[in-house]
Amino acid sequence: MIDILLSTYNGEKYLSELLDSLLNQSYSEWKLWIRDDGSSDSTVRILDHYRRSYPNRINLIQSPAGNIGATKSFEILLRQTLSEYIMFCDQDDIWLPDKIKITFEAFRNLEQHYPDKPLMVFTDLLLCDSDRHILHSSFIRYQNMNPLAVHNPWSSMAMSVAPGCTMMINRKAVAVCLPIPAFLVHDHWIVNNIAFHGKCEFVDIPTICYRIHGDNCIGINNIDKKYLFSKIKNILQTRTHYVKDMKTYPFHVNIIRVLSYKFKFNLYRLLGFRLYK
């Protein structure tokens, strides 16, 4: 059984489409665990309707913490789950019908090679507008990222390439990821800890329509020369900030290597080199 974790907050506009896309998955051995982070719109009413319609499939957990942000909300969900396999879900995406099947097959293959390691598999995404029109067939290529950066913890820290909504992790990975610092993005923290302790793998297949709209919690950057030059400039100006973040990890971080990877990745992108073909 696979547990899917969803944290919601004022997501009434697109939530039903997401839930319907989960229910239409070709792989059926899964359960959805939802925590609402204090919504003031009709999100909870929508969730309760689906929970009552699919009581063996959808679980809405009660949490007195109120609005605590996505990172801590997902941490609560992670602490609730008992399944060997866990996926994460965003309230405004649309899962393509074979998302779970494709991800799980890749995960089981990785598991055969590393049966005793914390593991993570992630996939590519389609970029869509608010009306589901496809804007680009590959998030990775549109953002000129290198998904193989997750093979090394220092390069993984330098470039956040694995969106949480495409990830599957195992129980051993949960053990090395908790607790999650509230001021960091949960998926990047999870990936970096697994990259250090275990293995991460990329599947070059889009499994989600990632919807770009004005209310995205984390959106898409316009990768132009102005943006990349500012990134390189910021690395030099805010290295103290990076050092502080790196010291949060429960293992020794080679900060020099992280910053050198970050500088190299952004320099290559500025010069127009493709990081992944």
The model's pLDDT over 107-155, given as tens digits with 9 standing for 90+, comes to: 999 999 999 999 999 999 999 998 889 999 999 999 999 999 999 999 9
Instruction: Give pTM, 2 decimals.
Output: 0.90
Residue 217 confidence (pLDDT) above 50:
no
Residue of 138, 207, 218 lying closest to 167 (CA atoms) = 207
User: In 24-169, which residue ranges form alpha helices assigned H by DSSP?
Assistant: 43-53, 70-80, 99-113, 139-142, 153-158
Give me the mean pLDDT over the 251-276 stretch: 89
Domains of the chain: 2-221 (3.90.550.10)
pLDDT on residue 245: 77
Mean pLDDT, residues 93-119: 97
What number of other Cβ atoms are within 10 A of residue 20's Cβ?
A: 12
On the question of pLDDT at 160 being above 50, the answer is yes
pLDDT above 50: residue 218: no
Could you report the per-residue pLDDT of 22-63, keeping only the tens digit for each?
A: 999 999 999 999 999 999 999 999 999 999 999 999 999 987
